[in-house]
Structure 1
Amino acid sequence: MNDTTDGTGGAGATEISARLAAQISDEIAAAEGLLAFDRFMELALYAPGLGYYVAGAAKLGADGDFVTAPEISPLFGRCLAVQCAEALEQLGGGDMLELGAGTGALAVELLQALEQLEALPGRYLILEPSPDLQERQRTLIQERIPHLAERCAWLPRLPETLRGIVLANEVLDAMPVHRFGIRDDGAIDEVFVTERAGVFLEVTAPVRSLGLADAVAALQAEGFARAPGYSSEINLRLPPWMTALGHTLDAGLVLLVDYGYPRSAYYQPDRTMGTLMCHLRHQAHDDPYTHIGLQDITAHVDFTAVAEAGVAAGFDLAGFTTQAHFLIGCGIDRILAESPDAFHLTPGAKQLLLPTIMGERFKVMGLTKGIDDALCGFSIRDLSRRL
């Protein structure tokens, strides 16, 4: 089908990619030649046994396609532990649930730091769609913190009830998104994926996906996404996802860390082509139709939409800030100064904090139920008014 040359995992990966491309081809045919982009993205990332996040290839770290904050520095997890300990204290104890736990590095650092703070959760639950990553997480936890391994459990779905903390580090950016464009006459088009001569490519046509036209019209009512030729994306799966979290969490804190913008910056007029980005072997590009299933596909997060969905699901907005200000509020300077390996941790701290790297590009949002006191991570600079 599409280009699946070596350099993306060898012959086995190429075979998986070809099988996934064939499945996408079948869905395109079933959709009369126009497959909604969000379904294409869902298949490319999560098709059982074939998608990028579930097929078993290395994804994170030096041997993968990208690195996340927990792999860059243990300081990230140690700082989050301070915030989690504060929230658990306000709740009188509880459990923790990490969504998409990656290599398991964040779970290890959090549990180690919480143990030192005498604030361990009753259970550390992980909801991870990738069997390969589940195995890596289990192995790392058993190797690094075997005495805490019994507290950890892997879930196939959200628990019915939870009192405690939900963590989602770089999860929202990997949720499938719809894409749209504005025609010269001002009408709204949807971006679809089609196939010609064995190649996937995108085309625009009148909106078919339920709710998309209304969602774009709502953006336009706020003054966004009006100019002819403008195109972007929108996450229609966010409200039901947040509603499910609202049903699960009886009381506690939802902590979301990701790259993104408030709506006014996300849909600003000069960002005319949206934020869709692909990652392959630490190189970023904007073509989602190559290396099917072998590359990450992401979109930045509209944090205004996250806050709106959270409030609608019964949460209170506890704070919104940059990653740098959040980590400073959690005491990263003190933690670094007290670390016996401070010299070796300093380069990683710079990556987490510098505005040109991760410090301002990544944001942190807190949503709460039953927690009324202020949270330390948002004490330095709360940007909620910008949402």
Structure 2
Amino acid sequence: MGRENKLLSLLLREIEQSPSHTISCEHYMTQALYHPQWGYYQRDRLKVGKEGDFYTSPVVSPIFARSLGKKLLEMSRDFDQWQVVELGAGDGRLCAHLWEVWEQIGGGPQRYYLLETSKYHRCLQSDRLQPLLTSDRCQWIDQLSDVCRKEPVIVISNEFFDALPVHRVRRGERGWELGVVTKSTDGQGLAEDFCSPPTYMEKQIGAYFDLLGTTLEKGQIVEVAFSAQKWWKQITDHLTQAIVVTIDYGGEMEEVYHSGRLEGSLRCFRNHRVHRRWLTCPGESDITYDVNFTALHKWAEQLGWRRVSYESQGSFLVGAGILEEIAVTAEYQDPFCAAARERRAVMQLILPEAMGEVFKVMIHAKGC
């Protein structure tokens, strides 16, 4: 007999106690990813890298941070002093690599804030960033209201929005339907179902698609990240002069909500394998989706933000000078030497068939 999944037991009890005998997809994801004890991001296990479940750009190569760091210095050239806020800083690798390049070429922020809720990730950050934390150049915060508002802020959102809980929405025969989680037929597991949303949610869904200027094919399912809209509101409320750099996988509405993608994009990563069984073994796999950059921009625009740019990660990194970071050597006799490995890492970050086109970079500014 396998070990008990305590989070699954908790979710089954929540469903039993619910008047509708269901919970929303968004609530399920919140528990599966962020439950204080059993949520995926709260567990004491590696998530990123060879021994984890997936790779991120900072893990692929420090060159990613070197290129980004130079670009951030360029963005901040009109600021006397400035600050950085990294949303969901993971193991602290991006922060460490950014400070390396700033110390090498001169410059950098007055302070680097790490907005991190995971105790496990804070422990990893503490190990990696101890000198920076001790010198007060880095500081943990629990909420954006902890950021000093006197200086301009650059917000780094690197694979942050794709980790937020989402709703699943389907266009049914009679209108919008909301994805919910209920018990499976045998009562031992979980299953997805769709039902008519509450009136307030039906209005919110309708307003969302009106904002996007689109609708769905009948039977089509998509992910809607109202949680991302709330984050934009928080950023706006607490930061009066700021630049937000969003790096994530996904695309514009026409791509993410294409009529050929009838089942949506919700999926899981486990041991570097992708699967769509997101209701099995809650808390043990990363759950993610393709970010709708059109929605992110529309929400930001409503709040007074100006879009500076939107492009693929490959285009952004090439523009930031990543190719200049590669050792100038036509050929490598040893394909396993450091220079050859570095070149392969850069190609993985920028080529369209690798991470270069899947990831997008969008920059917004407000008050500067």
- With the length of structure 1 as denominator, give the TM-score of the two structures: 0.86
Residue 157 of structure 2 is aligned to residue 171 of structure 1: no
CA contact (8 A) 2:132 2:138 kept: no
Judging changes above 3 Å, is the alpha-carbon distance between structure 1 residues 76 and 122 closer, same or farther for their aligned structure 2 residues? same
Partners of 1:359 and 1:186 lie apart in 2 by: 40
Partners of 1:157 and 1:281 lie apart in 2 by: 31
Residue 67 of structure 2 is aligned to residue 70 of structure 1: no
Of 5, 8, 11, which aligns to 1:24? 11
Partners of 2:199 and 2:61 lie apart in 1 by: 41
Aligned length: 355
Residue 290 of structure 2 is aligned to residue 308 of structure 1: no
Partners of 2:240 and 2:267 lie apart in 1 by: 35
Partners of 1:193 and 1:350 lie apart in 2 by: 41
CA contact (8 A) 1:85 1:117 kept: no
Displacement of 1:236 after TM fit? 1.3
Q: For 1:332-351, list aligned pairs within 5 A.
A: 332-337=322-327, 342-351=339-348
Partner of 1:238: 228
CA contact (8 A) 1:36 1:209 kept: no
1:147-191 alpha-carbon deviations (Å, 9 max, x no partner):
9753111111112544221101001001111001122x2422111
Partners of 1:338 and 1:113 lie apart in 2 by: 19
Q: For 1:59-138, list aligned pairs within 5 A.
A: 59-138=47-126
Partner of 1:358: 355
Partner of 1:370: 367
Partners of 1:113 and 1:356 lie apart in 2 by: 28
Partners of 1:276 and 1:100 lie apart in 2 by: 20
Partner of 1:297: 287
Judging changes above 3 Å, is the alpha-carbon distance between structure 1 residues 322 and 57 closer, same or farther for their aligned structure 2 residues? same
Displacement of 1:233 after TM fit? 1.3
Partner of 1:150: 136
Judging changes above 3 Å, is the alpha-carbon distance between structure 1 residues 114 and 341 closer, same or farther for their aligned structure 2 residues? farther
Amino acid at match of 1:230: Q
Amino acid at match of 1:226: L
Partners of 2:153 and 2:213 lie apart in 1 by: 38
Partner of 2:170: 181
CA contact (8 A) 1:36 1:193 kept: yes
Partners of 1:218 and 1:94 lie apart in 2 by: 34
- What are structure 2's unaligned runs of at least 5 residues? 330-336
Displacement of 1:210 after TM fit? 3.6
- What are structure 1's unaligned runs of at least 5 residues? 6-13, 372-387
Give aligned-pair identity as a percent: 30
RMSD: 2.2
Amino acid at match of 1:239: Q
Amino acid at match of 1:206: S
Partners of 1:217 and 1:232 lie apart in 2 by: 15
Partners of 1:233 and 1:187 lie apart in 2 by: 16
Judging changes above 3 Å, is the alpha-carbon distance between structure 1 residues 342 and 200 closer, same or farther for their aligned structure 2 residues? same
- With the length of structure 2 as denominator, give the TM-score of the two structures: 0.90
Amino acid at match of 1:313: L
1:53-107 alpha-carbon deviations (Å, 9 max, x no partner):
0122211111111110000011110111011111222222211111111111101
CA contact (8 A) 2:8 2:281 kept: no
Partner of 2:309: 319
SS at match of 1:321: strand
Partner of 1:381: none
Judging changes above 3 Å, is the alpha-carbon distance between structure 1 residues 313 and 160 closer, same or farther for their aligned structure 2 residues? farther
Partners of 1:338 and 1:93 lie apart in 2 by: 35
Partners of 1:345 and 1:147 lie apart in 2 by: 29
Displacement of 1:26 after TM fit? 2.4
